[in-house]
Amino acid sequence: MAKNMTLLIMAAGMGSRYGGMKQIDHMDDEGHKILDFSIYDAIQAGFDKAVFVIKKENQDVFRSEFGDRLNGHIKVEYAFQDLSDIPEGFEVPADRAKPWGTAHAVRAARSIVKEPFAVINADDFYGRGAFEKAAGFLSSENKGSDISHYAMVGYELKNTLTENGTVSRGICRVSDEGLLEEVVERTKIRKTDAGAEYTEDDGKTWEALSADSATSMNFWCFTPDFMDMTEKYFTEFMKENVPKDPMKAECYLPAVVSSMLTEGKCDVTVLKTSEVWHGVTYKEDKPALMEAIKEMKKDGTYPDRLWN
């Protein structure tokens, strides 16, 4: 499989519902974090560079927890998501502390990422098969078209839910040809006996969702031109949304992709996977994840120590 593929890891968030910096929380007796397993899977699939998008003040922590131990396994670089890193002509609103969103996080790596790349969250356990599908797409050649060709790993909703509360998920509409048509963000989804349901009015009413709904877990595959697109759409976001909501407005990655789809500038192949997502949205999720990792070590998916 072709090399020169980068894994861009969004790791600047702190995890308010979890209650701390879950990116570096240990998930087994050997001290591995969720990210260790994602990076291990990515290496097995053929990725040869990892870029951590982090807060600059956390650089020493990430170097000691990941960078130093990954030396010799994969090239590691760091990009910093900074509130003041915005397009020329704009100013950060006074007293704003909230980051600008996931599109801004990807944009932070624009001077580093010059090759096909995948984007993941730091605190989601995606599964080996997801990385293999992403690598297969990124290593293929798409020629003879005037639009960009991207991909998204699509999970089954039932495989992405927690028993311990609501989650935010991107519910996808997919064409018969397997192309993404729309991503609708549902910020409060909960598991039910029949599958799942969501609310948009703080729990006053709930609407059913199909357990098999194609679901985005922010695992995207892009060609390098996406960095230019992110700059363009983030600039438009700053112009249109910040005056309306200066303290909380955020530019999300799916919103950039959706705008490009609407304007006919790209297509997005949905790489369907039956992998089971594991994560730690809540502290109560951790024991189940630790048990799942233990079982995967027993069946030989992972060695006891990933970085000997």
Residue 72 is classified by DSSP as T
The pLDDT of residue 20: 53
Which range (15-29, 122-136, 151-165, 189-203) has the least confidence? 15-29
Query: Residues 121-126: what's their mean pLDDT?
Result: 93
In a domain, 307, yes or no: no
The pLDDT of residue 21: 62
Report angle CA 10, 14, 17 to the nearest 5 degrees: 115
In a domain, 94, yes or no: yes
In a domain, 241, yes or no: yes
The more confidently predicted of residues 118 and 184 is 118
What's the mean pLDDT when you consider all of the chain?
92
The distance of Cα 266 from the centroid of its chain, to the nearest Å, equals 19
C-beta separation of 207 from 198 below 8 A: yes
In a domain, 303, yes or no: no
For the entire predicted model, the pTM comes to 0.92
Q: Is the pLDDT of residue 188 over 90?
A: yes
C-beta separation of 156 from 66 below 8 A: no
In a domain, 304, yes or no: no
Give the range of the structural domain holding residue 116, as residue numbers without chain letter.
6-298
Handedness of CA 214, 216, 222, 227 (dihedral sign): positive
45-102 confidence digits (pLDDT tens)? 999 999 999 999 989 988 988 988 899 999 999 999 999 999 999 999 999 998 899 9
The pLDDT of residue 17: 43
In a domain, 305, yes or no: no
196-206: buried (b, 16+ CB within 10 Å) or exposed (e) per residue?
A: bbbbeeeeeeb
Question: For the chain, where are the E strands, in sequence order?
Answer: 6-10, 49-54, 75-80, 117-121, 124-125, 148-156, 167-174, 180-192, 195-198, 207-209, 214-222, 266-272, 278-279
Q: What is the CATH number of the domain that holds 122?
A: 3.90.550.10
Rounded CA separation 235/218 (Å):
21
In a domain, 1, yes or no: no
In a domain, 125, yes or no: yes
The pLDDT of residue 266: 95
Number of domains in the chain: 1
191-242 confidence digits (pLDDT tens)? 999 899 999 999 999 999 999 999 999 999 999 999 999 999 999 999 999 9
